């Protein structure tokens, strides 16, 4: 399928996109390339392949939940302007 300039202008109008006459030729070639790629995809043999409607059909790998403080408090707080123990110290903002 190949799009002509009038079709590109109509698509732009339907999408409410302002397209100058100088841009029509560029858009026409880009849209034709996209449609050519879609036609190429249509030629792929997908017989016997179950279609997926999304990633939810895939099984997720599980790992056990483990509570940890990360063990790098000193590295995290190394550049803190002020700290109290293993916590960031911030000025009081509510009186």
Residues 35-52 pLDDT 10s: 999 999 989 998 988 877
In a domain, 22, yes or no: yes
Give me the number of domains the chain comprises: 1
- C-alpha angle with apex 88: 86 to 92, nearest 5 degrees? 135
Residues 62-85 pLDDT 10s: 889 888 878 888 899 998 999 998
In a domain, 23, yes or no: yes
Q: How confident is the model at residue 8 (pLDDT cuts 50, 70, 90)?
A: very high
In a domain, 62, yes or no: no
In a domain, 91, yes or no: no
In a domain, 16, yes or no: yes
Residue 61 pLDDT: 83
In a domain, 24, yes or no: yes
In a domain, 27, yes or no: yes
Structural domain including 30 reads 5-42
Integer CA distances (angstroms), 55 to 41, 51, 58, 63, 89, in order: 20, 11, 6, 19, 43
């Amino acid at each position: 399928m190949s799009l002509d300039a009038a079709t590109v202008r109509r698509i732009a109008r339907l999408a409410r996109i302002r397209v100058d006459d100088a841009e029509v030729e560029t858009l026409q070639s880009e849209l034709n390339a996209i449609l050519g790629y879609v036609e190429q995809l249509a030629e792929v043999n997908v017989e016997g392949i179950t279609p997926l409607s999304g990633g939810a059909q895939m099984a997720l790998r599980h790992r056990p939940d483990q509570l940890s403080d990360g063990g790098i408090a000193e590295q995290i707080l190394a550049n803190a302007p002020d700290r109290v123990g293993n916590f960031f110290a911030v000025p009081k903002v509510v009186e």
